[in-house]
Amino acid sequence: MVGHRWGGAEDSVRLAAALRPALASRGVPEGVYVDNGSPFVDSALLRACARLGIKLIHSTPGRPQGRGKIERFFRTVREQFLVEVDADKVADLATLNRLFTAWVEQVYHRRVHSETGQPPLERWLAGAPFPMPTPDQLREAFRWSELRRVTKTATVSLQNNTYNVDPSLVGRQVELIFDPFDLTDIEVRFQQRSFGIAVPHQITRHAHQKAKPETPAAEPAPASGIDYLRLIDTAWTKELGQRINYEVFLPGQAGPVEAVDLSEEP
């Protein structure tokens, strides 16, 4: 598993929150295999994959066999991770995601797979090197884009906000590039050329209506006793101080790699 995230909703924002760090830490695959749920046909994912040169592969509707390995991994998560989660101690998504990362890195990735005879991480690294995206490439890939027609007064609208743009663009259809959580910073492009940052004229929304943050949960109640996941988390936090930077194994390398199976199961 190269990336993951627990969330309160299944949407493009939560998908990006899992996919972006996965690409940053372990490289860009040739293809990504997904089902046909709304987050996987969203324009934001299509744009991200196009920018990074990733082939987006959708499973065939009505043929669940193609998702068997993924479902098998989910079963492992339920049987080996979720059974250890104490709801009294893990009452927020941040804690759940931290514990899950520790379990994946400390346990799942290092345990020998019953079919391959190798730990998943060892098998993954055997296929290195992988092309690593730069921070700028990731930032560009995961920004959102919408088309707008520039009015006679050299303005455009987005999410009930109004912005002033270059007067030379009047009457033209332009592309607005933005972070969905910050609608005060909008780049204007026309025919693949940047025309600078749109000047906010009237702002009523600071975040896109589809960019809904997770609702904070109540603080977890204190508890006592042995906590398996907390022990793993402590070990993982300690190891982070000397965590391997995978990029050092990949000097001067670039090019496509094979699509990655994210669900190898021991």
- Check residue 215 and give its pLDDT: 59
Sheet strands side by side (includes 193-197): 144-149, 173-179, 182-190, 193-197
198 touches 191 (CB < 8 A): no
pLDDT at 69 over 50: yes
Mean of the per-residue pLDDT values for the chain?
84
Q: Kindly provide the residue ranges of all beta strands, DSSP E only, lying in the chain, ordered along the sequence.
A: 31-34, 55-58, 144-149, 155-158, 161-164, 173-179, 182-190, 193-197, 199-202
Averaged over 74-98, what is the pLDDT? 89
The domain spans of the chain are 12-135+228-248, 143-202
pLDDT at 260 over 60: no
- Check residue 188 and give its pLDDT: 98
Q: Which DSSP helix (H) or strand (E) runs through 20?
A: helix 12-26
Note the pLDDT tens digit of each residue in 183-228.
Answer: 999 999 999 999 999 999 999 999 999 988 765 544 444 444 446 6
pLDDT at 50 over 50: yes
pLDDT at 253 over 70: no
Averaged over 88-101, what is the pLDDT? 89
With cut-offs at 50, 70 and 90, classify the pLDDT of residue 65: low
Note the pLDDT tens digit of each residue in 104-130.
Answer: 999 999 999 887 889 988 998 888 888
Provide the CATH topology of domain 143-202.
Answer: OB fold (Dihydrolipoamide Acetyltransferase, E2P) (2.40.50)
Averaged over 224-248, what is the pLDDT? 61
Residue 96: exposure state from Cβ atoms within 10 A (0-12, 13-18, ≥19): buried
Q: What's the CA gap between 30 and 160, in Å, rounded?
A: 38
Residue indicated by tokens 């022990």 = 231
Q: What's the CA gap between 83 and 229, in Å, rounded?
A: 10
Q: How many CB atoms are closer than 10 A to CB 134? A: 9
pLDDT at 252 over 80: no
User: Is the Cα dihedral 27, 33, 37, 41 positive or negative?
Assistant: positive
Note the pLDDT tens digit of each residue in 125-152.
Answer: 888 888 999 999 999 999 999 999 999 9
Task: Say what the pTM is.
Answer: 0.74
Residue indicated by tokens 């005060």 = 184
Domain 12-135+228-248: homologous superfamily in CATH: Ribonuclease H-like superfamily/Ribonuclease H (3.30.420.10)
- Which one is predicted more confidently, 69 or 34? 34
pLDDT at 248 over 50: no
